[in-house]
Structure 1
Amino acid sequence: MTMTDDNGTASAERPAYTVPQPPASIDAAIWPGIATVPSGFKANAAARIADGIFKAAVRRLPIEVRYPDGQVLGSAPAGSRVPVMTIHRPGHFALRLGDGGLIGLGESYMAGDWDADNLTAVLEVFAARAGTLIPVPLQKLRSVFLPRQPRTERNSLKNTRSNISRHYDLSNELFATFLDETMSYSSALFPASGSAVKDMQWEGFAAAQQAKIDRLLDKAAVGPGTRVLEIGTGWGELALRAAARGATVYSVTLSSEQQALARQRVAEAGYAGQVTIELKDYRAVEGEYDAVVSVEMIEAVGYEYWATYFQTIERVLAPGGKVAIQAITIAHDRLLATRTGYTWVHKYIFPGGVIPSVRAIEEVTEKRTGLQVRERLAFGEHYAETLRLWEERFMARKDEVAELGFDAVFQRMWLFYLCYSRAGFASGYLNVQQIVLDQKKNAAANGSR
């Protein structure tokens, strides 16, 4: 069920769960950026500027921002229902926002400086207007004032393993609390399309994840005897389904946790003779493969290395081979505006990541490789539903998450990540694509027959 205001912003009803509140004293050893509020003359000056920009922006938005003194900002038409953001500690909120921009927005949520009746709906309002929230003259100063990606997080051969480990090696048990039994950590493909993709149920989730995988395998022509390279193992579901078709699979990952569980699942399914899972950077892969598949791994490559990624695929692809990847994408103008920036997602979730645009993928393959994009399927609305199901499952099992050693600050961080991502897809700021590529020379040869 949804509610829509007069400006056309859609938002789900308030979620039926209670968000954990952080303790009064946050452990600075674990959360240094959360336990300590920025201070000093520079921080205070930045806070005043950020507070002014934020208030000017929200006065134009279909949202209610409530302050402890009773002040309410927003542009909600009379009688409409819009998401509510409640600021508990305005001073801390402004200081964090001034210090880190959107990083500060996420950190202030983790710290409990603000809450929302529906976090996704609040973030969707901001995501839908991401390019216009800050005045254009100030946008030009973005690179001067906002943090830039640390060199230690660029996806060089030296750094990539640690970047991947910081996310995927958190705990297999943690991911199992909110993923379905296939342990798929990417968008499902539900048996519907367009606006019909809503209110999907958990009972059909695993089948929708398998449908996503099966479509990729079909597009890569994977069948008996096919030599498959998988870049980014996940927890093994794609390798299992390829092996069930009679293929042999060589899968590479940089997560030791994922490798261990994926190998276990492969062995238990009886496919150990067909599937090899190695702890290896994609750039180090050798051999020749009839099909290359990769699910939501290009986002972790880094834009400086997109050419290397596709050149590696071209190098190992057998004549006549097919490539099928699934990729989160962003509009090209937003990619150009943000690709060198350092965001909350980089700092807390995916260090070193950059989401590509379709145009960037097409340009890099056209100009730097002998590969060419042949087919695309966009299904961003399916990702919004996937993230909703993860969010609901995660919050329903938050007590289990706590028993695993993940405190309330972590839980708020993870909830912000899931809702932040969902808002991106629901607003259209983000999309997800299945992209099929092959070799130009083979396509030319086939076309001349």
Structure 2
Amino acid sequence: MTRPALTSEPRPQPAGGPVRVPRQDPVVAPAAAVPAVRRADVDAELWPDVARLPAAGPVHTAVARQLVGRALDRLGLTGPSARDGVPAPGPRLTLHDADAFHRRIGRHGLIGFGESYMAGEWDSDDLAGVLTVLASHADELVPAPLRRLRGLWVSARPVADRNTRDGARGNIQRHYDLSNDLFATFLDPTLTYSSAVFTGFPARFDSLTAAQHRKIDRLLDLAGVGEGTRLLEIGTGWGELALRAAARGARVTTLTLSAEQAALARERIAAAGLADRVDVQLRDYRDAEGRYDAVISVEMIEAVGAEYWPAYFTALRRALAPGGRIALQAITMGHRQMLHTAATHTFISKYVFPGGLIPSREAIAAYSAAAGLRTVADDGFGEHYAETLRLWRERFTARRGAVTGLGFDPVFQRMWEFYLAYSEAGFRSRYLDVRQLLLTEGTPR
């Protein structure tokens, strides 16, 4: 297979052909070693900002060295690591190129921190553990007086990432159209790419497939989906929710902007003999047609962008038939953190989810109420997402050979592992949460 074609940011082209998904949860082999990367060997065309060091001034670098060094020492993240053969009480961060590490952070903050990992300038014996410690102390890493100077090391989000109709299509393609086969390396056989709901912990006592079905069934129950229900799904994924809704007797219209997802979802639906009950449409949520008894949208609002949240909730309200119910699953963060993130170009917005923004519960409440919707139920289960991400990360690292065979180089693999561990840390530290909400027509009480 040819190498992925990328421009200024990683955009591997989709692998050919639909993936064949096994019926049972596969046995996960032990994780392969993190691929070693040297900056000198990084493909500058694929990864320009990883291959070269930023032009950070000596003052920025010195400040970063002081602040970061003190923070790592205070949090117990420095010193010998387990991979050095020395017992360590907690996760450790090992610097291979301290000057480059501090230079990147001094110039680009958290983006530089992630790019330094992609460049192989630091490693950890427990990546998710290190990131969880950092996330748990996020508000303490920079002294209060210096927080007012955030503009010196952060940049605004690119205008090109706005979620206009054309922009949203491009943003979705840059992530979800990477390759169906790539996602199949770490998702369970349902190809469900959102938080599962487990019966308890540790999650190993509950298969990921069963936990994903439990999550889907909870949403279908919340929305009152049954025989004859007219259901609109905003955000198809690879079709598992539509399949389970149709098996209940619902008539499903499901919308996506990902051509790769739509093709595989249609194939899976046809194979299940439910093509007459499910209509998969390549359509923007703003162009949804018809009225429905139930509307479900799972972790879609994060891809909408704050600028378009009014349009999103208006579309939900417009699609709802009298007496209908809306079930949402949404990742959330604190409102103050959301406001900071909304104004900042982050590692995730640059490399993983361009144009995306995680809302706060306050933002969801305000924008849904403005659209004439009332929140009837709101249930959080962030610890379940941490476990889901742990399982995804373990599956991904166990199948590095398959990922390499799909044409994704070591820098991509380090980036993807960082993204999964970074997300897991967000939920483990409770910086992030995930919630299922029930909305109905009406003003808040």
1:81 equivalenced with 2:89 (yes/no): yes
**Equivalent residue for 1:416?**
418
Shift of 1:65: 5.0
Shift of 1:158: 2.6
TM-score (norm 2): 0.89
How do 1:19-418 and structure 2 match up within 5 A?
Answer: 19-23=34-38, 24-39=40-55, 42-64=56-78, 81-192=89-200, 197-200=201-204, 204-366=207-369, 368-418=370-420
Q: Deviations over 1:223-274 (max 9, x none)?
A: 1111111000000000000000100111111111100100110111111111
Q: Which runs of 5+ in 2 are unaligned?
A: 1-29
Q: 1:162 to 1:43 in 2, by over 3 A?
A: farther
Q: Deviations over 1:184-209 (max 9, x none)?
A: 000000012xxxx33425x6110100
Q: Deviations over 1:314-356 (max 9, x none)?
A: 0110000000010011011211222211100011100011101
Q: Distance in 2 between matches of 1:50 and 1:155?
A: 33
Q: Distance in 2 between matches of 1:166 and 1:411?
A: 16
Q: Distance in 2 between matches of 1:104 and 1:174?
A: 26
- Which one-letter code corresponds to 1:83 in the other structure? P
Shift of 1:66: 6.1
- Which one-letter code corresponds to 1:159 in the other structure? G
Q: Distance in 2 between matches of 1:22 and 1:276?
A: 45
Q: Distance in 2 between matches of 1:154 and 1:129?
A: 31
| Equivalent pairs, count | 411
Whether the 8 Å contact between 1:64 and 1:84 is mirrored in structure 2 is yes
**Secondary structure, aligned partner of 1:64:** coil
How do 1:7-18 and structure 2 match up within 5 A?
Answer: 17-18=32-33
Shift of 1:304: 1.4
Whether the 8 Å contact between 2:32 and 2:400 is mirrored in structure 1 is no
Q: Distance in 2 between matches of 1:405 and 1:365?
A: 42
Q: Distance in 1 between matches of 2:337 and 2:251?
A: 39
**Equivalent residue for 1:11?**
none
Q: 1:417 to 1:65 in 2, by over 3 A?
A: farther
**Secondary structure, aligned partner of 1:101:** helix
Q: Which has the higher contact order (CA 8 A, sep 6+)?
A: 2
Q: Distance in 2 between matches of 1:17 and 1:423?
A: 21
Whether the 8 Å contact between 1:300 and 1:353 is mirrored in structure 2 is yes
Q: 1:210 to 1:129 in 2, by over 3 A?
A: same
Whether the 8 Å contact between 2:31 and 2:399 is mirrored in structure 1 is no
Q: Distance in 1 between matches of 2:79 and 2:291?
A: 57
Give aligned-pair identity as a percent.
53
Q: Distance in 2 between matches of 1:277 and 1:44?
A: 54
Whether the 8 Å contact between 1:374 and 1:437 is mirrored in structure 2 is yes
Q: Which runs of 5+ in 1 are unaligned?
A: 1-14, 71-78, 445-449
Shift of 1:16: 5.2
Whether the 8 Å contact between 1:66 and 1:87 is mirrored in structure 2 is no
**Secondary structure, aligned partner of 2:434:** strand
Shift of 1:21: 0.8
**Secondary structure, aligned partner of 1:99:** helix
Whether the 8 Å contact between 2:177 and 2:261 is mirrored in structure 1 is yes
1:425 equivalenced with 2:395 (yes/no): no
Q: Distance in 1 between matches of 2:76 and 2:431?
A: 17
**Equivalent residue for 1:8?**
none
**Equivalent residue for 2:10?**
none
Whether the 8 Å contact between 1:147 and 1:341 is mirrored in structure 2 is yes
Shift of 1:144: 4.7
Shift of 1:80: 7.2
Q: Deviations over 1:345-376 (max 9, x none)?
A: 0111000111011111111122x111011101
Q: Distance in 2 between matches of 1:66 and 1:112?
A: 18
Q: Distance in 2 between matches of 1:95 and 1:198?
A: 40
Shift of 1:63: 2.2
Whether the 8 Å contact between 1:64 and 1:82 is mirrored in structure 2 is no
- Quote the RMSD (CA, aligned, Å): 1.8
Q: Distance in 1 between matches of 2:51 and 2:219?
A: 44
